[in-house]
Amino acid sequence: MHLPSLLVALGVCACAAPVDQKPLAANVRHHAGPHKVQDPYTPDYRDPYDKKVDAETNKLQPLPWRNGEGATMLGPRNRERERQNPDMIRPPSTDHGNMPNMRWSFADSHIRIEEGGWTRQTTIRELPTSKELAGVNMRLDEGVIRELHWHKEAEWAYVLEGSVRITVLDTEGGSYVDDLEKGDLWYFPSGHPHSLQGLSPNGTEFLIVFDDGNFSEDSTFLLTDWVARTPKQVLAENFRVAPEVFDAIPQKEKYIFQGSNPDSIEKEIPSESKGYKKSKQRFTHKMLAQEAFNTTGGTVRITDSGNFPVSKSVAAAHLSIHPGAIREMHWHPNADEWSYFIKGRARVTIFAAEGTARTFDYQAGDVGIVPKNMGHFIENLSDEEDVEVLEIFRSDKFQDFSLFQWMGETPQRLVREHLFANDKKSGEKFEKAIASAEKDPIRSVLEDDEEEKAEL
């Protein structure tokens, strides 16, 4: 392979321009494993480097002590919530300034309960920083139907558990029907009518993302609602049947309801002789079946309009961050990041310029926001469990800037004079560390023996 082609394949650019992330193939290295942690929530503890603390695993109760400063807590407390968000109780010393909340848990969202299912949402009303995207978590039992409907917004979804059948009609009258399983996606452009139905014995649960933070799941256009709000004479004229045919229709929306178990797709779809036309578009995609990009600290799968052409307004990455590893310091130039944590526990520090930075802790079921262009990382808090997270964007393309790559591809004189003007030895170590300038989106930590070699 010629050098230019190799650089393109590795996602390396000679300039500081946004590139579509193509993680490097590398051997996955795991962290050495759990280690004993001294209780950092005491007045005697000192840590000038703000190391991570897994309060949950180590059964530690966070207190606002940091490097000898702080005090105990005397008033009422929610101790469980404190353990879930230790960096709120004892923030890193680098946190500074005012920043709006960037975290919400679906556990705090109101649930709408229906026949055989439920739904709950995280929108700009629950999380005011969720301006570009809104999320809905929905559950359908076996045979349960999310009724025929459409939205003003485009709909992107990821199957969390179980299997589901989707139907959708395209703008040329073509029909598309598919059965999806865990790790699969669907995307319905704005206005496209569709339906969902749980298939497996335990049905299905999925995350739906809409390309507008102001979305409301209660404001969709429902088939039963429209028909109930239309004079029967008009229905009769439209469908060319007698008005009394519609005497038995529902008097209000059905929304989510128990239906009969469907047959195979081949047996369910109408025949072409009856006017059925198969859509030429592909509205579904098997994200977890994609070949993963291996990094030194985990795996990455990216799905955007490049490999899922119909998805014009939502791009996403699926990350598995190994114990002790970190989603490298980076930022996104084209859209806010809307993250959904599927497994594990992580801390994220967001840099908002103007001397402002704030750290948030996340776990399974949480949503995180990072506004466009704000620097951040995702650090796995656990030494035993992967962090599994979706990064989702209102964009047709996934793009990011790597701080590591930027430093490696910038003239080293500039880097030294910015960061190490008063410490030549440290500058040389840093220059050696970034010499490859290779993007490594999920970075493993240096083991003790590697640190010793780096010193040499």
- 337 labeled binding residue: yes
* CA quadruple 187, 190, 192, 196: dihedral sign: positive
Q: Please tell me the distance from the alpha carbon of residue 437 to that of residue 445, in angstroms, as a whole number.
A: 17
Task: Tell me if 318 is assigned to a ligand binding site.
Answer: no
Tallying the residues shown for the chain, one arrives at 456
The answer to whether 451 is a known ligand-binding residue is no
CA 344 to chain centre: 13
Q: Which of the following is catalytic: 82, 379, 388, 391?
A: 391
Please give the distance of CA 100 from its chain centroid, rounded to a whole number.
19
Does 30 count as an annotated binding residue? no
How many helical (H) and strand (E) elements, i.e. helices and strands, does the chain have? 10, 28
Count of CB atoms within 10 A of residue 192's CB? 19
Partnered with residue 151 across adjacent β-strands are: none
Rounded to the nearest 5°, which phi and psi values hold at 175? -105, 145
Active site residue 391: yes
Contacts of 439 (CB under 8 A, 6+ apart): 10, 11, 12, 21, 22, 23, 24, 328, 402, 404, 405
Q: Is 194 annotated as a binding residue?
A: yes
| Inter-residue contact 185 to 279 (CB < 8 Å) | no
* 332 marked ligand binding residue: yes
Residue by residue, what is the 3-state secondary structure of 309-350? CCCCCCEEEEEEECCCCEEEEEECCCCCEEEEEEECEEEEEE
Contacts of 36 (CB under 8 A, 6+ apart): none
> 322 CB contacts (<8 Å, ≥6 apart)?
28, 29, 30, 31, 297, 298, 380, 386, 442, 444
Q: Is 418 annotated as a binding residue?
A: no
Known binding residues? 149, 151, 155, 194, 330, 332, 337, 376
Active site residues: 391
Q: Which residues are annotated as a binding site for Mn(2+)?
A: 149, 151, 155, 194, 330, 332, 337, 376
